[in-house]
Every structure is written in structure tokens, then in C-alpha cells.
Amino acid sequence: MSKNTVMELTRIIQNASLAPSSKEQVQIIVDAISDVIHIDVCSLYRKTPSNKMILLASHGLASNRPVILGENQGLVGRVASQRHSINIINPELHPDYLYVPSSKEEEFHSFCGVPLVHHGEVIGVLVVQSRRAELLATEQEAFLSTLGAHLALLIANIPAESLTFNQENEKKVGVSGSPGISIGRIKLIKSSGLNSVQDNPCTDIEEEIENWKQLREQVRQELKEERITVERELGDSLASVLDAYQLFLDDIGFSQKIETEIRRGKTLLWAIKQTIKFFSDQFQAMDDPYLQARHEDINALGNKLYHSWQGTHLTSEDIQSEEPVILVGEQITVSDIANLPTEQLAGIICYTGAALSHIAIFSNALGIPAVLGVGSLNVQDGDYVIVNADSAYIVLKPSRQLIKEYQVVLKSRQAFDETLKAKLKEPAVTQDGVRIQLFANSGLQADIMPGVRNGADGIGLYRTEIPFMIRQNLPTEDEQVKVYQQVISAYESKPVYIRTLDVGADKPLPYLPHVVEENPALGLRGIRFTLDNLQILLTQFRAIMRAAEGKSNVNVLLPMVGATQELDQSIELLESAYRQLSEEGVSVTKPKIGIMVEVPATISLLPFWKNKIDFVSIGSNDLSQYLLALDRNNTLVAKLYDPLHPAVVHEIKRIKSIADQYEIDVSLCGEMASDPIAVVLLVGMGIRRLSMSSAKIPYIKWLLSSHTIQDAEEFAAKALACDTSAAIRELGKDFVR
């Protein structure tokens, strides 16, 4: 098999991935394979959740009826169960041969099947057959195995349910932008307006330039008004997302490009289309994932310009409906929802978008379930859809039965939420009366009040990088003071732990020079970054102390400290910020200082630091990443990443023992703090302070109230004797009621 053939097929697979539907994709592929390797039949089977095999597409087999093979049935089933290729002649003589009359298979006298394996599981089988009773040549078989690896990746993204012949309950998997489950009717946000603009000649260039100037002014004004609405509802940090659109609009280069296009004899809409494409391509070509995600801002501006010009913006009347509305669109922007009454909105679905999208941040802040990146959908206004953002998928054309089942789930969730709401003001105590402090993790202004409303005992982790990341420039000291003051004053005298900037790795600051690192998670991040840029850290210390003026409940938390000199330098900087402010006449109290325990090296150093720090907060997300050598953001190893790994559990136990011995306060603020099994385990190991997303607090409070400390300790003792996270989880199921 020549190298060119392999390249040709790789190209076909890439092209197929652009086909509008999964069915078309797989058909293109099987047709192409049989054409390139000159074989009579090429068929692709996909395993269903019930372990059956569905024939997705075939070149050469008659397919007037769906072919579905039972578990391990036929030669296809044998390839799947043995996880190994079969290459035989006269397949009809094989004991596992299963004759499917509708396929007219009897005409073919050779069979070669290769398993398609994804993440360690057989998810399908690729089969080629020929009329002649001739074994497939070894190099052809090897070629099919290579191809199988590519195909597995492609078909893994096709949910088997969506390929059944019943178009009901079509499931599309995406990424979760904001958790929750909802059912509603679709309202399409038309965003392809610019895409369909044609290159028609412009008759009056000067008039078109004038049109551009007017449109620019009109959109400037609209953005200003939207900003005021968003700021009022959700705070300044989120409203500043709209500044990104304003910034492009004000950019001279942007305007010049549009004018140049018009002067070339193009219409205004065509000029906008070309200009948006030009800038969007530039962003998309960037390596940095945050900057790459910013191409959504420029496209959002394009849509805004288009709809303002055409007068086709969605208004509140458009979403008037008796039933909940789910907004669906290629890319839904902050502008799209800024002026809509959010009570009516039950969900958001975007064809594109990732967890870093602004729409994800927004839907989280609004508490609306959102699934992003589902690919383009063939749906109509008014169609029913189920959004299951907890499991990152949607269900199109849900059957009545499924809607009923989901309604039952939603009802029982609502009833349970009412039970939880009734206890919001009560403290979290175990069944036998031991008080556990539950803090909120925050970073957006929009998270602050939900934490207060959900009865948080304070802010256990305020991630300052979020207000830094959604701005266009480093925030000034005064700007930071304002942001921190809002958090501090919302919690009155309750403790607030403000973490200094934790950027680098997966959280680069878009406006600072970006250094390409081979292993960014092991590179210049967290405290290493701010000590390298100590003016940023000093300003931040000053801002935190100024915001805390007259208060004693504010604490400074340092991220990623892993060496004594890092801690010493940070303390020295905090001291000098304190001296500077005192000299300037500001009446400051020195805040308590503590560190995140995220780098495994930190644990052994804690005894040395006993007189330097007041508290530690266990960052179980990074601690697990570094202890297990598993990238927390890498989907390829996602199923291995579990903070309940025995090594992590034992290290947390060690941290707690050292902290007790040296009288250092301990809390935990990673995702573990809202995983029910982990919570009971942590409490059983003596942890009494947990910090989590504010939405989880009522549930964790309820969970704790139904367990005694003795239960939890018994579970912890047994869990510490397990050697896999699966065993701990299994045990946990018996304990966590």
C-alpha cells in the first residue's frame, strides 16, 4: 500500500468529517475505501450501548433494511469479542458465520474484519469482503488496521443512538458549558446571515462608506446599552466581555479594512464579511487556546453588525412562549441574550464553542444549562429538545416516553431543591452535631451573591485570575480594589480567602507576552509566574490590603508554592506592600497568609513552614494532576484522572496529620469538595472546611446532615485500605446514602 494511498484516505476522512451528517460521513468513507483499495465490499459497524452491532454504512452490501447484530454474533461479533482481526476465505464455512439474508452476502467469498478501538474499548468493526475467495494481502490488512485507528476516532464521536433508523431521541454529544437539565422548545438564533452574503457590486461607494459610519455608530450605542444591562444584572466582570466587541469596533485597522473593501467596489455587508473572516482566521491560527477562543468575539461582532444592519435582532417578543425556551444557534453571543428576559430561558445549545467560551461563563452565571460544540443541527423553531448539560449531551426529537421520563427527573429535582432551599440559612452539621464549614469558590462577580444566598460560610477560594483574564489589560490597583471590595463586603465579617493570580499553563493572560513552553503545567505558572513579574504580585497585595481596610476577615492564599524561597519571597513582598501602604497613611491590617497545597513537594516542606503560614488549602485538582502525572485537561486520560486515587487520598491524610501536628488550619478547595463520596471520606479523615462552587453547597449540607462522624470515619478507615479509586467508590456507595 503506497504512502500516497494512506495520505489519500487520511484526506478522505478529514473531508468526511466536514459532511453535514454522521450518516453521510460514514458513507463517504466506506465508498472511498473500496474505491482506493479496489475491494467489492467495505462496511462499517458501530457498537451500541447494549453491545449490539449496527451496520452504519456499507459499500457493496444490499441495505434495504437495517442490519443489527446481537452481542458477539457473527464474524463481526467475533472480531469485537476477540479484539483481534480476522482474515479468512469462504467465511460461510466458519462456525461463527451468521447469514443475514437482506444483505445478499452470499455473493462474497473472503472476509477481513478489524476491530476499531477507542480508549481501550472496541467500539466498532471495519469489514472488507471480496467476490473472489482470496485472502487479503498482509500489507492490505496492515493498512486496514492503520486506517482503523483513524476511523475509531471519527466514529467515537458519533453516538450510536443517533445512527439508529428511528429518528426519535437523536443524541448529540458536546461539552458542558454550564450544568443542569432542561426540556423546552427550540428558538433558533439565526447567525449564518453573514455567511450567506453574496459578492454583489456596490453602486455608490461614497454612500456605502457613509452607511458604514452610521452602522458603526449605531452598534457602538447598542453595545453601550447592552453593557449597562449586563453590568446591572451580572456585574462588571461579565459586562466587560462586551468591551471586547467594542474594542474591535473602535480599532482603526478594523474600520480601514472595511473601507478598503468598499473602495474596491464591494457592498457594505460583503466588506464586513471579508473583514470578519480576515481577523477571525488570524485568531484561529494562534496556538494559545485562550486567544484561539477569542475568534468567537470577532464573529460575534460580525453577527451583531449584520443583524443591526438588517434589523433582525432577536427581541423579547420572539421568545414569548407558554413553554420554556431553549436557544439554539451556531454561536450564541452575550449580545444575543443581553436584552432577553432570562426567566424564560431554559437552556442554550451552540453548534460551536468550548468550555472557555464566553457563553459558558455567562450561562453559568445565569444558572442556565448549556451544551456547546454539538455540531450543526437540522432543527426547527418550536421543536422539543432535551438539554442534559450534566452529561454534556442533548436529545433531539425526544419521544413522548423520554420527555415523560425527563419530566419525572426534573420534578423530583425541583422537589429536592425545595427541601434544600428550606435549610439554606442553617449551618452545615453532621447527624451527630459536628459543624463542618462550607465555603464558596468564586472568581466572577456573578458568583458572589449566589454564595451568600446559598448560605456559604465565606469565600474559601477567590480565583483572581478570572477578573484578570476577561479584561483586555492588566487591571490597575484601583480597579482591583473595587473588585475585591465587592467580594469582601458581600460576606461582611465571614472569612474570605483571596488567591493571588494563578495564571500560566491552561490559564494564560492574553495580553501579556506568551512564552511557548513544552510542558506548561510544569512551567511558569502560579506563584512562579508572579514572582517573575513581581510588580503584578506587589500591586495585587496592595489592592487586597486596601480592599480589606478596617477588616480582619481577609486572607491571602498563594497558588502553587513548592519551594521555601518562593514562600519567603512572597512574604517579603507582602511585607513591603504593607510598609508602603502604612507609609502612605492607609490604615491596613496585615492579612493572614496561607498556601495552596497543590505541588506534592509542598507536603514534606510544611513542617519547615509552620511559623510562616497561618493556613493551608488543599488544591485537590492540581495535587491529583501532579501526584498521578495526569493532565487534568487531557480528554485522552480523563478516565484515569480521579482524585479518589488511593495515592491522593493517602497524601491528603498526610497533609492533615502534619497540619494537626503543627497547628496549621486546613481546608480543601478542589472539585473533590463537591463529590459526595469524597466529601464523606474527607470528613472521615478529619477535614472540617470545604470550599466548592456555591451551587453545590445546599446539597453537600444536606448530605452531611444525613451522616454521622462515626460513619464517615469508618468509611475513611476502609477506604484507606483500598488500592484503587474504583474500590473506594464502590465502598462509598454503601456509605453515601
Active-site amino acid positions: 358, 669
Q: Does 542 bind ligand PEP (CB under 6 A)?
A: no
Give dist(CA 95, CA 528) in Å, integer. Answer: 65
Q: Closer CB to Mg ion, residue 350 or residue 616?
A: 616
User: Which stretch of DSSP H or E encloses residue 327?
Assistant: strand 325-329
Length of the chain: 737
Nearer to ligand PEP, 439 or 491 (CB): 439
Q: Of 574, 590, 592, which Cα lies nearest the Cα of 667? A: 592
Closer Cβ to Mg ion, 303 or 442, answer by number: 442
Question: Which one among 669, 709, 712, 736 touches ligand PEP, defined by CB under 6 A?
Answer: 669
C-alpha distance from residue 115 to each of 85, 136, 285, 345 (Å): 6, 16, 35, 44
The bridge status of strand 437-442 relative to strand 459-463 is parallel
Closest CA to 472 of 302, 277, 250, 224: 250
Residues numbered 605 to 624 that lie near ligand PEP (CB under 6 A) are 619-622
Binding span for Mg ion by CB under 5 A among 30-38, 223-231, 251-259, 614-622: 614-622
Measured from the CB atom, is 182 or 625 closer to ligand PEP?
625
Closest CA to 211 of 273, 162, 259, 140: 259
Q: Which of 447, 566, 622, 651 binds Mg ion (CB under 5 A)?
A: 622
Among ligand PEP, Mg ion, none, the one that 28 touches (CB under a kind-dependent 5 to 8 A) is none
Q: Tell the smallest beta-carbon distance from residue 624 to Mg ion (Å).
A: 10
Q: Which is nearer to ligand PEP, 161 or 598 (CB)?
A: 598
Cβ atoms of 221 and 331 closer than 8 Å: no
Q: Minimum CB separation from ligand PEP for residue 604, in Å? A: 19
Write down the least CB distance from residue 606 to ligand PEP, Å: 17
Q: Where are the beta strands (DSSP E) in 376-473?
A: 384-388, 393-396, 437-442, 459-463
| Among the listed residues 63, 91, 59, 58, the one whose alpha carbon sits nearest the alpha carbon of residue 77 | 91
670 binds, among Mg ion, ligand PEP, none (CB under 5 to 8 A by kind): ligand PEP
In this structure, which amino acid lies at residue 145?
S
496 Cβ contact list (under 8 Å, min separation 6): 458, 459, 462, 487, 488, 553, 554, 555
504 touches ligand PEP by CB under 6 A: no
Per-residue DSSP letter, 724: S
Q: Nearer Cβ to Mg ion, position 369 or 619?
A: 619
- β-strands 592-597, 615-618: how paired? parallel
User: Closest approach of Cβ 503 to ligand PEP, in Å?
Assistant: 10
Strands 121-130 and 325-329: unpaired
Taking CB under 6 A as the rule, which mask of x and - marks residues 431-470 in contact with ligand PEP? ------------------------------x-x-------
Q: Which residues pair with 328 in a beta bridge?
A: 188, 349
Helices and strands of the chain, counted as H and E runs: 26, 22
Closest distance to ligand PEP from the beta carbon of 670 (Å): 3
159 or 504: whose CB is closer to ligand PEP? 504
Binding segment (CB under 5 A) for Mg ion, from list 22-30, 171-179, 398-406, 594-602: 594-602
Which partner, Mg ion, ligand PEP, none, binds residue 577 by CB below 5 to 8 Å per kind? none
Q: Can you tell me which of 502, 566, 651, 711 binds ligand PEP, judged by CB under 6 A?
A: 502
Per-residue binding string, ligand PEP, 580-609, x by CB under 6 A, is: ------------------x-----------
Residue from 174, 619, 676, 732 touching Mg ion (CB under 5 A): that is 619
Beta strand pairing call for 121-130 and 41-47:
antiparallel
Q: Which residues bind ligand PEP (CB under 6 A)?
A: 461, 463, 502, 598, 619-622, 669-670
Q: Which residues bind Mg ion (CB under 5 A)?
A: 598, 619, 622
